[in-house]
Amino acid sequence: MRILIVDDSKINQVVARDTLIANRIESEIFLASNGEEALEFIAVSGCDLVLLDIIMPKYSGVEVLEKIMMNDEIKHPKVIMLTTIEDTQTLKQCFDYGATDYIRKPFNELEFISRVKSVIREIQNDHQIKHTAIQLERQNAELVETNKALKEAQYYLVQKEKMVAIGELAAGIAHEINNPLAFVMSNLETAKNYVSVISDFIEIGREIITIEHADHFMESITKMDALWKEKDLDFIFEDFLEVLIDSETGLKRVAKIVMTMRNFARISDEDVFEYVDMNVLLDEALLIVNNEIKYSATIVKHYSECKLLYCNKGQIEQVLVNMLVNAAHAIKSKNQENLGVVDLSTLCDGKYGYMIIKDNGDGIDSEFINKIFNPFFTTKPVGQGTGLGLSISHDIIVNKHKGEIQVESKKNEGSTFTVKIPLHLVIEK
């Protein structure tokens, strides 16, 4: 604590100093005999508390106080005015300029020490508040950095889980692509043979154009007729278009699978939200997992004509893929002879869109139903699944889309997952 006593009376300076020392006020004490000395000392050395006489030559205490408080380049000390005057207007002026308190002269030791101690406590409280504010600011900055690091870790964890899902589905996706490619390749071989036959037929036709003798003309016509019947050109011309249409359909399916997988696999921008048809979302997710699910379940669709859903398309598809794969695994685990059923439904009300995935698999034990969204919790055998799928899905729906995931399940009867998302989501930046 640095205290400056400013008074043109040496006696008052000494009395004030000795009173502080006698009452064990822990501080460094400095003396100034006029306003100029005080202003220079404060500007150069600084202090925490000024005991400032009001009546002094050249600069009055009021003027010194005003100059101190007007100087924005210094740390403003607390100021206690020292006075013998009874002029309340002058005292009011001192408080208006920023004085903290005043002490009358001659000094009453009890009053003097009480007022000084009170202001010292105020200074210490101010220091503590500033120190606390600095600590809070530093801790807040650390929390911001930690939160940023956690968000980055979470972001890459979501992407990693997506890659894990793609890895697990890769064989099935390859099979889905291979089927249409196989019949396209077969169709191309057939088309090539058709082109060869048609080329032979056209070649005979070209010979007719150059024939000059009638007997040769009729001979070529006979050859063309024989070739037409032998190669069944009626069928070829009828089937050729079907071959091309089938091939086009197969290639479109391959393109659709590749495009859907590319969109699903890409690193999605968390801030990109768009209006999407819920039925399209379910169909694209189903396309990705089709080979995983088609050998264990029949898909039944109950789609409604709903309003478009404002969402992050890649994130919602990741949720749906995870739930469809879980439904397929639940049905396989039941070991039933017939195919199971996965029922897909969409509907909406005035505020929310609903996507419902219901299966008749082996269901979830009641003791686990409240744990399925916990990170790393899984009921699957070791080596199957990371235990992060539903946890990440819950974060995407609840935290990022302000929605809900509702679960109903009975052991050996199946499960129903309902994804509920606001139709018009306000994104907080």
User: In this predicted structure, what is the pLDDT of residue 221?
Assistant: 73
> Which of these, 46, 50, 113, lies nearest to 78 by C-alpha position?
50
pLDDT single digits (tens) 328-377 = 988 988 877 889 999 999 999 888 999 999 999 988 887 777 787 776 55
Distance CA 169, CA 204 (A): 53
User: In this predicted structure, what is the pLDDT of residue 43?
Assistant: 93
User: In this predicted structure, what is the pLDDT of residue 162?
Assistant: 66
Residue 215 dihedral angles phi and psi, to the nearest 5°: -65, -40
Residue 267 dihedral angles phi and psi, to the nearest 5°: -75, 110
User: In this predicted structure, what is the pLDDT of residue 300?
Assistant: 95
* Placement of tokens 């890659």 in the chain: 163
List the CATH code of the domain at 2-107.
Answer: 3.40.50.2300
Cβ-based neighbour number of residue 248 at 10 Å? 12
The pTM of the full predicted model, rounded to 2 decimals, is 0.51
Distance CA 71, CA 81 (A): 18
Q: Is the peptide bond before 422 cis (omega within 30 degrees of 0)?
A: no
Distance CA 245, CA 253 (A): 12
User: In this predicted structure, what is the pLDDT of residue 383?
Assistant: 46
User: In this predicted structure, what is the pLDDT of residue 374?
Assistant: 75
Distance CA 103, CA 312 (A): 68
Q: Hey, what amino acid is at 99?
A: A
- Asked if the 270-429 domain carries CATH number 3.40.50.2300, the reply is no
Cα angle 307-313-316, degrees, rounded to a multiple of 5: 90
Distance CA 90, CA 78 (A): 18
The per-residue pLDDT string of the chain (429 residues; one tens digit each, 9 = 90 and over) reads 999 999 999 999 999 999 999 999 999 999 999 999 999 999 999 999 999 999 998 899 999 999 999 998 899 999 999 998 888 899 999 999 999 999 999 999 999 999 999 999 999 999 999 999 999 999 998 888 887 777 666 666 666 666 666 666 666 677 677 777 877 888 888 888 888 877 777 776 666 655 555 556 667 677 777 777 877 778 887 778 788 888 888 888 777 777 776 666 665 556 788 899 999 999 988 988 888 888 889 999 999 988 898 888 888 988 898 899 889 988 988 877 889 999 999 999 888 999 999 999 988 887 777 787 776 556 555 445 444 568 888 888 998 899 999 999 988 889 999 999 998 865 554
Q: Are 406 and 420 in contact (CB under 8 A)?
A: yes
Q: Is the peptide bond before 106 cis (omega within 30 degrees of 0)?
A: yes
